[in-house]
Amino acid sequence: MKSQEFINKLNAQNLNQILGEYPIAADFLANFRIEHISKDLPVPEAFNNINPEILEEFGLDSYELLQNLSLFLENLTETETSIHKISSITILGGVNKLKEPENISLTIYPGEVISIVGPTGSGKSRLLSDIECLAQGDTPTVREILINGEHIEEEERFQLDGKLVAELSQNMNFVMDLTVSQFLEMHAKSRLTTNAKEVIEKCFLCANQLAGEQFSKDTKVTQLSGGQSRALMISDTAYMSNSPIVLIDEIENAGIDRRKAITLLAKKEKIVFVSTHDPLLALSSDKRIVIKNGGIHKVIQTSDEEKESLTSIEQFDNILLRLRNNLRSGEIITKDLLTL
């Protein structure tokens, strides 16, 4: 949307209407300490009623404030539009630690799950980092990441920074002392989520389904366990994040229903990369990238035979889960727990 179109929109609607459509505009008002102005008036009139001394502190008058709000909303919506246009990501190979070429060109589409496997220290996290920063031959691996088959210009790369990719690392540490409900409300607001109350409820219920231990909306996020934190962020990413690419580092140690989590993200048309040592996750993916000596050694399409073996792997996994639960609850481990 052009700047003039936004100006026309601001001229035609009152501030309450604008805040209803763009909740993040409340932060714009707060930044200028004018959050308490009348919101039932058309935006220009509401701005004209602001004490000029307040705006003079920021070197603005009411008209310039209107222009700034228009630009703020325009930039916000343009970025969101760019994100929604992502239809593929392509990894162009660089070199491994021995400077040998990777000779790879891999294109992934929304809804696909790609596992990244290899020994500890082989370079799995480096590949995730290359994807996260949209590498353009400027990282140690010299890999290039294309979006929709095209290289990313530096300006667009900067604009999309932190918005195109959502990363879920091994350690989720919250620093804000908010309740789960407040945390989800804050994210819904910042992401212009429509039907926010409904989406927040879905996020909360989903997180509790994924987590091994239930928690309430009043629980402080700083009090969540590692598994609960990861479950909350996965549900948040699935239902509220516009980021079309999700990077997950070793979800098997998170204490959550990992297969359900990956399936959820894929159903939301996310492109999912998961670094893992877990055969259950690796064989549940569409393809797996094998890392060796810091480089992409090969890409394997998951075969029908491998998919058929998942039933047996799940049975073994259920035995391990049963053992863990018994250990945690202080029960005695007996041989019958080892039966399929």
Provide the residue-wise pLDDT of the chain in tens; the chain has 340 residues. Answer: 456 777 888 888 888 888 877 777 887 888 888 888 888 888 888 889 888 888 888 888 888 888 888 888 776 665 554 455 688 999 999 999 999 999 999 999 998 999 999 998 899 999 999 999 899 999 999 999 999 998 888 877 776 666 788 887 666 666 678 899 999 988 887 776 777 889 899 999 999 988 878 899 999 988 888 788 888 988 988 888 878 888 888 766 556 777 788 888 888 888 999 998 888 888 889 999 999 999 999 999 999 998 888 888 888 877 887 887 788 788 888 887 777 6
Residues of the chain with CATH 3.40.50.300: 89-326
9's torsion region: left (phi>0), alpha (psi -120 to 50) or beta? alpha
Is residue 25 within 8 Å of 73, Cβ to Cβ? yes
- Residues 259 and 265: their CA atoms lie apart, in Å, by 10
Q: Which residues contact 142 (CB under 8 A, 6 or more apart)?
A: 94, 95
CATH number given to 89-326: 3.40.50.300
- Residues 178 and 279: their CA atoms lie apart, in Å, by 36
- Residues 4 and 21: their CA atoms lie apart, in Å, by 18
pTM over 0.75: no
Structure token digits, residue 175? 């620093």
- Residues 283 and 311: their CA atoms lie apart, in Å, by 11
Task: Give me the residue label for tokens 């703020």.
Answer: 72
Task: Give me the residue label for tokens 């910042």.
Answer: 190
